[in-house]
Structure formats: structure tokens, C-alpha cells
Amino acid sequence: MKEKPVVLKIENIKKRYKIKVIKKKPENKIDSAKLALKSFLNPNSNKEDFWALSGVNFNVEQGEKIGIIGKNGAGKSTLLKIISRITEPTDGRIEMLGKISSMLEVGTGFNSELTGRENVYLNGAILGMTKAEIDAKFDEILEFSEVGKFIDTPVKRYSSGMFVRLAFAVASHLEPDILLVDEVLAVGDTRFQKKCIDKMLEIAASGKTILFVSHQMNTIRQLCDRVIVLSKGKVIFDGDVEEGIKIYNSDIYTEKKLHYEYKNLHRSQAKELDKAEVLSLDILNTDTCVYKVNESIDFNIKVNIKIHDLGDISLRAFFWQNDDSPVSVCFSKPFANINTPGEYNFNVKITDHHLNPGVYKATLNLLGGSSRVNENNLDYISPAFVFEVVNEDGTATLWARDWGRCNFKNLEINPI
Amino acid sequence: MRKTVIEPNGRNFQYWKDIWNYRELALNFAKRDVTVRYKQTRIGLGWAVIAPIINVFVMTFIFGNLAGLESDGNAPYFVMVYAGTIPWGLFSKAITSVSSTFITNADIMKKVYFPRLISPIGTSIAHVIDSLVALSILLIMMLIMGYFPSVKFLLFPVFFLICLLLGSSLGLFLSSFNVKWRDLSQIIPFAISVGQYLTPVAYSIDSIPENFRLIYSLNPATGAINAFKWCLIKDMPFDWTSFIITIVWIIFLFPIGIYFFRKTERTFVDIV
């Protein structure tokens, strides 16, 4: 087979940011005045270098669909910003062939005073389309957006759904040779999200080169034929999709353990640590913290009660996606009535959770009284533990059958 | 296929080619500015007319009637002031909007690439449109008053360009500092409103005593405003000194402005 041309050559790309470092607080007014003067005269004196990218290298051949994955702060977005020329690298060189477009956000430059039609032309121009191109595609964009007769209404009167649909419609009708996408697919309701992903698949099938940044492993599986894993500004893996996802998972799971100690953990939101404190947590019945959909999550917690006559205690658990977007919460009834100080162990089961496949972080919140009524916040540990949910048969369908029914049953807690 | 190279301190030649490629975007920005400005207001474009006219009346009253200053070349005082406010408006709006271009467009610039100079070019076009509207109103009023401009009026695009270049050169230069020190966006409007009185907008340059005239002309705006008035007012002599000083300022400031702007645009998204 004939070798395909390299359309994107990334050589030793580095990016340095100067970040402000807060040093120890000055003790008196003279010191703080000195410090203020110093930072005024030399603005870099309290800044440190931070290398968001420290030497990234890879080549992309025409038509490849590359998923770029990595933890938050691994440098994915910085890399995309450099390739799309929003900011310059500190060092290195990139060569690109052909027209390059980026979808780092939908609706960039939309102006609420302008009508849908005016915004299509403005946004199209911002994304690099010519008027002739937009004219040619206008009907297609209009149809895809489902905005219909509202196209001549100022977008400030649009529902947020209509707004993102129109925005995505414009962006997805770009015709670049290389397309950069940063997790913009999650727009609109589920039906429109499906449509967006189908559109992306269509673009992918048309032989365009795509670089796709996402935390959604399932979308990566659907769209990409190669994966690059970034960690701390470096490429740690480049190749097969499944293997890359495995490495990415092991990378985020460096923080995932079967046993957690909270004793010295800083908790900003715990109000009454002097009364009660969660000391540790042990995950049960798994070695990997990977659960099938509807498999219950089982763990033990050790609680230290420090005062007499504390009374009822209850527990709340919050769930977050790996990118810190909130998912759901579940509550327990008061599970113990404690009158003597000491260490107590409890077993907690989270059953029937209907979580979509993905990686989640859980927050535990220990409360005095009933968790629904009394907001007596004793301890708050965030994140308390990390786990992953996969489909029952291990396949990668995008939507779990019961997804959207995030209907948590009450926590089941028993003394042991 | 088009080849693009990204390097720290990227090549200039590619950048200027890009400006040409993105010319439609500049027009789109201009269209957006003009549309948005007049969309919500009931009288629409009328606001571009009414506000300056009131302003001109007030200044005519203060400088012409109260202070009793002479007009340029026997023109009605009102016409002279109006002829001064048009280029002054273009000049001062160019400074204000060009100097804040990185801040007002930060949301777009953080997400999409285009040569950043497109954005000041776009706003400048919008300001020129505003000024053309103001100019046509003045011409109508002049016809009503029976005061006709001579042929030299046809040179007005040159003087528009001079005001625009001067204002945007200053704006480009200030824009890079505006990113780091936001205080500037407070200082600039203040400086502009003071500057209006140090420039022959509402009075004739002849009202300035002869021995101060040179110092007065060092103000880069003096020559630009005065020259524009000259093309509208029939019997007004052309003041070469201030005009040449203005041109020298532009030759000096424009490259500096571009240099600072280019330097800032490379990485300003990391700061804003």
C-alpha cells in the first residue's frame, strides 16, 4: 500500500507558563510593603516556570483519526491551542499541510443581538469559512440545527438548546483538511448529542484528518483509530486505541487505591471535624475498582467519634465525573445513634446506581442528624475514592440502557 | 496544499498573507459592530447623528458665543466645530477600541485563530462608516445653510485615513499595555476628553498665540484634525507645520504600534 503523506509534523513542542507562587505571608506591615514594592519593580520575582508541555513529538498521516487523552492538566488543551495557533509554543516546530480548523468551543463569537442567520455568517467567518462557502451550505446548516423559522430571530431569544444546536451546526459544516476537536460533542439533549456524534463519524469517514481531545473513552473508541496519551506534558503512549485507553486508565488510577487514609487530609468543607471524623476507607469485593453497570459498590469506613451524645449520624455520597462535573447524590437514613466516643466501623453498599460507563469520583459527607433534614456537616471528604463503571458485557455502547435514570437508592449502611 | 509552519516568533511573511486570507472576517467584524450598535435603539442610525449634533451645539455656544472665538475662514462657527468633531471622533474611537481589542475580543481569541490585526481592522472599518454618516449629515446641513464646500472637499478620504492611522497607531501601541495594566482603560477615555481641548476641534488653530503654535502643533492630533477641517472649509489656509508633524508622528508610531501588537498577540491568551 502506498504510504500516506504526513500532514502534521510535531517536533519537540514545549510550552512554558509563568505561574504566580504565593509565598509565606509577611508578618508585619513593613515586610508586606517591601514585598509589594519588590513585586512591583520585578513582576517576575514571585513567578515560577510551569512546563505545560515538555517536548511533544508525533506525526500524523493524512486521514488518521487521533484521540488525545490524558488527565486534567496533562497538556491536551495546551497542545490543541498551539496546533490551532491560538498561542505560540515556547520551543519546537510544527508543520502542517492543508487547511486547519478547530472546534475548541461551539458558538465562539456568537452575538446575542444578532439574528441566527447573521450569527451563522459571523461565526462561519470566525471559523475561517468564506461567504461563498457559507452560502452554499446555509440550507444544510439550517436543517441540521433544527432552528427552523427562528433563524431570523435574535439569538438572545433562543433557548439554550437552540443556541448550541445552531452553533454546532455551523462548526460541523467546516471543511478543513485537518480538524481539531475539543470535547464539544456534549451539547444539547441526548438525541442531538447522538446526531452530533453521527455527524462527527460522518466527517471521520470522509477521510479527513481529525485530532480529538476527550475524556469520553467511548467516543474515542468510536471515532479514533489511534490514541496518544499525554501525561505531565509528555507523550507516554502512541498507538492502539484500546491499549492507550488502558494506559490512560492506569494513569488516572495512580490516585485510586483499595485503601484510603483520610487522617491528614485537608478538608476545606468539613465544618465540625472536632466532633466526628472519617478515618479510613476500604474498598471490598474488587481488586480493580471497575464495576459493571448495576454492580454494587461495597466498602467499609472507619469513623472516629470524638464527643459524647452525638446522636444520629447519616451519610451522603456525591458522584462526580472525572472532569469534576457533578453526576448525582445519594443519601442514607440515620444509620447509627452514638453516645460514646470511640472508633466505629460501618459497611456501606451503593446499589442499583445506573451510572453510565465512565470514571467517577465519589465524595463522602458525614452528617449529624438525618442527611435530608439536618445539615449538620461533620466531615466532608472530596474525593473519597475513585471507581470506573463498564458495561455488563464489556462492550462500548455509548449509552447504557438505563442511562438517565440516575435514581439512587438509599445507602445501605450496617455496623460491623 | 497550503503549508503552515508554527514556531516561536513565527515568520512575518506568513502572517501578512494570512491577513489577506482573512479579509472577509474583518468585514464581518465591522458589520457586527455597526449592526449591534444600532439594532436595539429605536431611532437606529439616528443616534450616530443626534448625539454629535447636540455636542456640536454646546461647543459652538461655549467657544463661539461665550468665548467669542473666531471661526476658520469665515465659515459659520457651527460648521467649523462640526467639521472638527468628525475627524476627532474617528481618531478618538480608533484609540479607544483598538487599544482594548485584546480585552473585548478575548473570548473569541482564546478559542479561534485568526491574525489578531483583523480585529482592529474590523473595528476601524466600522468607525469609518460612522464617520461617513456624520459627514453626510454635515454636508446636508451645509447645503441647507447655503455654505458649499469647494473641490478640495474631495480629498477627505486622505484625511480620514490620516486620522485613522494616527488613532490606531496609538491604539495598537497601547493595546499591548492594556493587557497587563487594566488601569489604562480608565486613563484612555480621560486623556481623550482632555485632549479634545488641546486640539483644534471646537476652535480655530489661529486662536492659539503665534509663539505657542509650534508646541501646540507637537500634539499629533493637531495636524490631522486641522487638515480635515481645511478640506471642508473654503477659505481656510493649509497649516503645513502641524500637518508635517502629524505625518512624522504616524511614520514613527505606526511601525512601533504594529511591533508591540504583534509581540503581544503571540501569547496574550496566556495572560488574559
Q: What is the pLDDT of residues A204-233, one digit of tens each?
A: 888 889 999 887 777 888 889 999 999 888
A275 and A382 both lie in a single domain? yes
State the average pLDDT over residues B10-14: 72
Non-local (6+) Cβ contacts of B34 within 8 A are B126, B129, B130
Is residue A84 a contact partner of residue A238, using CB atoms and an 8 Å limit? Answer: no
A100 contact B CB<8A? yes
Q: What is the pLDDT of residue A412?
A: 72
Give the ranges where B9-117 is alpha helix by DSSP (H).
12-21, 23-39, 46-59, 77-99, 101-104, 106-109
**What's CA B215's distance to the chain center, in Å?**
22
Which range, A9-13, A14-18, A381-385, B106-110, has the best average confidence (pLDDT)?
A: A9-13
Q: Are residues A231 and A303 in the same domain?
A: no
CATH code where residue A281 lies = 2.70.50.60
Greatest CA span in chain A, whole angstroms?
78
Could you give the percent of chain B with pLDDT greater than 70?
96
The pLDDT of residue B254 is: 95
Assess whether A109 and A244 both reside in one domain. yes
CA distance A81 to chain B (A): 8
**Looking at the partner chain, which of A83, A85, A97 has a beta carbon nearest the beta carbon of B1?**
A97
**pLDDT value of position B70:** 82
Residues of chain A positioned with their CB less than 8 A from the CB of B109: 86
Q: What is the pLDDT of residue A61?
A: 92
Q: What separation in angstroms does the CA of A373 have from each of A72, A312, A331?
A: 36, 12, 11
In whole angstroms, what is the distance from residue A13 CA to residue A54 CA? 7
Least confident of A150-154, A262-266, A302-306: A262-266
Percent of chain A with pLDDT over 70: 84
Mean pLDDT on A367-379: 68
Residue A20 lies in a domain: no
> Which domain does A219 fall in, by range?
6-14+55-253
Residue A33 lies in a domain: no
Q: Which of the listed residues A253, A280, A300 is the one where a domain comes to its end?
A: A253
Position A373 pLDDT exceeds 80: no
- Average of pLDDT values for A230-253? 83
A87·B25 Cβ contact <8 A = no
Last residue of a domain, one of A202, A218, A253: A253
- Quick check: is A72 in a domain? yes
Give B36's contacts in chain A (Cβ within 8 Å).
111, 113-114
Mean pLDDT to the nearest integer, A228-249 = 88
> A282 versus B47: which is more confidently predicted?
A282
Asked if A11 has any chain B CB less than 8 Å from its own CB, the reply is no
Q: Return the pLDDT at A132.
A: 92
Question: Contact A89/B4, CB-based, under 8 Å?
Answer: no
As a whole number of angstroms, the distance between CA A360 and CA A249 comes to 12
Span of A83-92, A165-174, A319-328, B147-156 with lowest mean pLDDT: A319-328
Quickly state the pLDDT bin for A322 (edges 50, 70, 90).
low
A28 assigned to some structural domain:
no
**Average pLDDT rounded to a whole number, residues B142-161:** 90
Is the pLDDT at A330 greater than 60? The verdict is: yes
Would the CB atoms of A97 and B3 count as touching at under 8 Å?
A: yes
A409 with A272, same domain? yes
Same domain, A221 and A318: no
> Is the domain of A190 the same as that of A246?
yes
Pick from A253, A282, A309: which residue ends a domain?
Answer: A253
Q: What is the mean pLDDT of residues A349-361?
A: 79
pLDDT at A189: 72
Q: How many domains does chain A have?
A: 2
The pLDDT of residue A401 is 47
Closest residue to A126, CB basis, from B25, B31, B267? B25
Do residues A237 and A295 share a domain? no
Q: What is the pLDDT of residue A43?
A: 64
Same domain, A67 and A164: yes
Judge if A304 and A201 occupy the same domain.
no
Same domain, A198 and A211: yes
Cβ atoms within 10 A of the Cβ of A392, count? 12
Question: Do residues A340 and A306 touch, judged by C-beta distance below 8 A?
Answer: no
Residue A408 counted as domain residue: yes
DSSP H stretches of helix in A13-53: 29-41
A309 in any annotated domain: yes
What ipTM was predicted for this assembly?
A: 0.84
- A302 and A358 assigned to the same domain: yes
Q: Is residue A302 part of a domain?
A: yes
CA B135, CA B131: separation in Å to the nearest integer?
Answer: 6
Chain B contact probe: residue of A8, A80, A88, A90 with most B CBs at under 10 A: A88
Same domain, A239 and A304: no
What's A163's domain CATH number? 3.40.50.300
